[in-house]
Chain A
Amino acid sequence: MISIAIEKETGEQTLLEVPVDMGLNLMEVLKAYEYDILATCGGMALCATCHIEVLEGSEKIPPVSDAELDILDTMPATSERSRLACQLRPDEGMDGLVIRLGTFDEN
């Protein structure tokens, strides 16, 4: 079990306990915590509805893949810290990561 912090626009942080032995990716973890994420494509890096920004700990995660860059590139607003949660698989090394939920389409 590791901790990942979700930071709101206001700077307020919520700590999530994240299991690393259940084969879940970060999008699935966020959905399990009932964050409102569409995840239309189910985790294929095709829809960009699980866009997040990694605020702290970018050195703890694997570099962005080509497939991920392709889809991020089609979005109206992203930053250098943008990632797709479905492409990140939490492991022991990601303890202490701080993320902000990205520009999800408001439904």
Chain B
Amino acid sequence: MITTDICIIGAGPVGLFAVFEAGLLKMRCHLVDALPEVGGQLTEIYPKKPIYDIPGAPGILAEDLIRNLLVQIEDFRPTYSLGERVEAIQKQPDNSMIVRTNEDTQIHCQVVVLAAGLGSFEPRKPAVSNLEYFEGKGVNYMVKSPELFRAQKVVLAGGGDSALDWAIYLSEIAERVTLIHRNETFRGAPDSAAKVMELAHSGKIDLFLQTQVKGLGGNGRLNSVEVVDQNKKHFQIPADSFIPLFGLSPKLGPIANWGLGIDKSAVLVNTLDYSTTEARIYAIGDINTYPGKLKLILCGFHEAAIMMQSAFKFVYPEQKLSFKYTTVNGINTF
């Protein structure tokens, strides 16, 4: 069990800056994010795009903003559970809470902050019959540890960089790698595309272009992938594993089932302190909504500052909060 003052769900820019605002008030934070890296959309979707409306950081690249935020909060020593999705929050008799993830990590905290943007990034699933039935029985949406695929017959589907990169990587480990791609050419990194073509040419991998996966077969465990080519010809490929790689898309996910007030996939908050309809649970950044809401990073930063002042009473019920400027007091780190 991890013990902290505040559990922040979502390690995007707003979740990261919330660590700073909490730290100023001597509250410790643990962050949970479904992605394996911090930064949220900025890291996952647009790391190289400049952002023009961050005060005092004109035209900063998204990845640089995240890097700077990590430097800014370093002294407050946040801890992380990355690559895990929060499934449930359980209220305890003393009003504290236990946050549980899909990997069964448990975080005991006094306050929960939802800074989850548009929700957790989940793999896009192709329309393939029996796909969900074979999840955990041969279907994987990411390659967490490549060793698991050693000496296996692996079928990958997709045409982006991750499909190309894993086809190349797994060709060294797996018994056989087959790559299925809907189009005639790859639009991923030209070097990787050339390498895949070369591996296919020399017979190291099987490459099927203008082909799509239609269904999966097996008796309790995956043993074949059914594909259809541009001439509508169907055929079966023997497979121990099928890995569709079609990128990620955000989903509100379990948050929708926590009994919080929700309006159009966003969590309703009181603008006094960005508290939700549940005591000790706050929502800041793109995940929340209120009259006049603007989905801007800078608005999320503001919400984080206000929200942490309100959360103080739950972490230090005996103490009186006094507001201090960092220019006067510096930052008192842990």
For chain B, the count of residues having a C-beta within 8 Å of the partner chain is: 25
Q: Is the CB of A74 within 8 A of B46?
A: no
With a cutoff of 8 Å between Cβ atoms, the chain A residues found around residue B244 in the complex are 76
> By the criterion CB–CB under 8 Å, are B45 and A38 in contact?
no
With contacts A40-B45, A105-B124 known, is A74 near B246, CB below 8 A?
A: yes
On whether A47 and B246 interact (CB within 8 A), knowing A40-B118, A76-B125, the answer reads no
Whether A38 contacts B118 in the complex (CB less than 8 A), given A49-B249, A75-B247, A76-B244, comes out as: yes
Q: Main SS of chain B's interface residues? A: loop
How many angstroms between the C-alpha atoms of A74 and B246 in the bound complex? 5
Give chain A residues whose Cβ lies under 8 Å from the Cβ of B158: 74
List residues 56-107 of chain A with CB under 8 A from any CB of chain B: 69-70, 73-78, 105, 107
Q: Judging by beta carbons under 8 Å apart, are A41 and B41 in contact?
A: yes
Q: Is B265 positioned at the interface, with any CB of A under 8 Å from its CB?
A: yes
Contact check, B250 vs A40: say whether CB atoms are below 8 A apart: yes
Using CB atoms, name the residue of chain A closest to B183.
A73
Closest-by-CB residue of A relative to B265 is: A107
Bound-complex Cα distance A78 to B187 (A): 15
The answer to whether B160 and A41 have CB atoms under 8 Å apart is no
Choose among A49, A73, A76 the residue with the greatest number of B CB atoms under 10 Å from its CB: A76
Report the minimal beta-carbon distance from B8 to chain A, rounded to whole angstroms. 20
Q: Is the CB of A41 within 8 A of B46?
A: yes
Residues of chain B contacted by A46 (CB below 8 angstroms): 45-46, 49
Known: A74-B246, A107-B265. A40 touches B187 (CB 8 A): no
Check if A76 sits within 8 Å of B126, measured CB to CB: yes
Chain B residue contacts of A107, Cβ below 8 A? 119, 251-252, 265
Partner of B160, one of A73, A77, A105: A73
A contacts with B, residue count (CB < 8 A):
18
> Interface code B5-45, partner A: CB below 8 Å = 1, 0 otherwise?
00000000000000000000000000000000000010001
The secondary-structure label for the interface of chain A is loop
B101-119 CB contacts (< 8 Å) to partner A: 118-119
Q: What does the 1/0 interface line of B47-82 toward A look like (CB < 8 Å)?
A: 001000000000000000000000000000000000
Q: Does A38 contact B250, Cβ atoms closer than 8 Å?
A: yes
Cβ-defined contact, B127 with A47, below 8 A: no
Q: Which residue of A lies closest to B127 (CB)?
A: A77
Task: Tell me, in angstroms, the Cα distance from A105 to B125 when the chains sit together.
Answer: 9
CA gap between A41 and B41 in the complex, in Å: 8
Q: Across the interface, do A74 and B45 meet the contact criterion of CB distance under 8 Å?
A: no
For B118, B119, B249, the residue with the greatest tally of chain A CB atoms inside 10 Å of its CB is B249
B159 — which chain A residues lie within 8 A by C-beta? 73-74
Does A44 make an interface contact (CB < 8 A)?
yes
B127 touches A76 (CB 8 A): yes
Instruction: Give, as a whole number of angstroms, the nearest-CB distance from B42 to chain A.
Output: 11
A69 touches B187 (CB 8 A): yes
Name the distance in Å between A86's Cβ and chain B's nearest Cβ: 13
Residues of B within 8 A of A75 (CB): 124, 246-247
Q: How far is the CB of B163 from chain A (nearest CB, A)?
A: 9
Task: Check A74/B126 contact, CB under 8 A, given A41-B41, A69-B187.
Answer: no
Asked if A105 contacts B251 (CB within 8 A), the reply is yes
**A48 vs B187: C-alpha distance when bound (angstroms):** 15
- A residues apposed to B, CB below 8 Å: 38, 40-41, 44, 46-49, 69-70, 73-78, 105, 107
Q: Show 28 A/B contacts (Cβ-Cβ < 8 Å), sorted by A.
A: A38-B118, A40-B41, A40-B45, A40-B118, A40-B250, A41-B46, A44-B45, A44-B49, A46-B45, A46-B49, A48-B247, A48-B249, A73-B160, A73-B183, A73-B187, A74-B158, A74-B159, A74-B246, A74-B247, A75-B246, A75-B247, A76-B126, A76-B127, A76-B246, A105-B124, A107-B119, A107-B251, A107-B252
Given contacts A49-B249, A75-B124, 15 further A-B contacts (CB under 8 A): A38-B250, A40-B41, A40-B45, A40-B249, A46-B45, A47-B45, A73-B183, A74-B160, A74-B246, A74-B247, A76-B246, A77-B127, A105-B124, A105-B249, A107-B251
